[in-house]
Amino acid sequence: MDELLIRIMTRLVRVHDEMGERCFEEAAHRALVTIAQTVQVEASRKVGIEQPKLGDGVLPFPTIPSRPSRDGVA
């Protein structure tokens, strides 16, 4: 795990040095979003919720199934 973290940090530092602050911030933001998507997919898998894979594009935000209202209309 330590080696992978060092590789990620080294890559981001290199992006900053060679491409500038704007590119660095975009790369770092995308890395964080990808980490969050990976965690969401894994958490959904563990609880048995069918979710799209990471390569399928936008992941839906998990929602609570709707309950019928008091008058019986969902």
pLDDT exceeds 80 at position 8: yes
Tell me how far apart the alpha carbons of residues 61 and 42 are, in angstroms, rounded to a whole number: 14
Domain residues of the chain, as ranges? 2-52
Output the pLDDT for position 43. Answer: 87
Tell me how far apart the alpha carbons of residues 2 and 15 are, in angstroms, rounded to a whole number: 20
**What's the pTM?**
0.60
Output the pLDDT for position 7. Answer: 94
pLDDT tens string 15-64: 999 999 999 999 999 999 999 988 988 888 888 776 556 566 666 666 66
Tell me how far apart the alpha carbons of residues 58 and 48 are, in angstroms, rounded to a whole number: 19
Tell me how far apart the alpha carbons of residues 36 and 6 are, in angstroms, rounded to a whole number: 19
Question: Averaged over 3-24, what is the pLDDT?
Answer: 95
Chain centroid to CA 74: how far?
Answer: 31
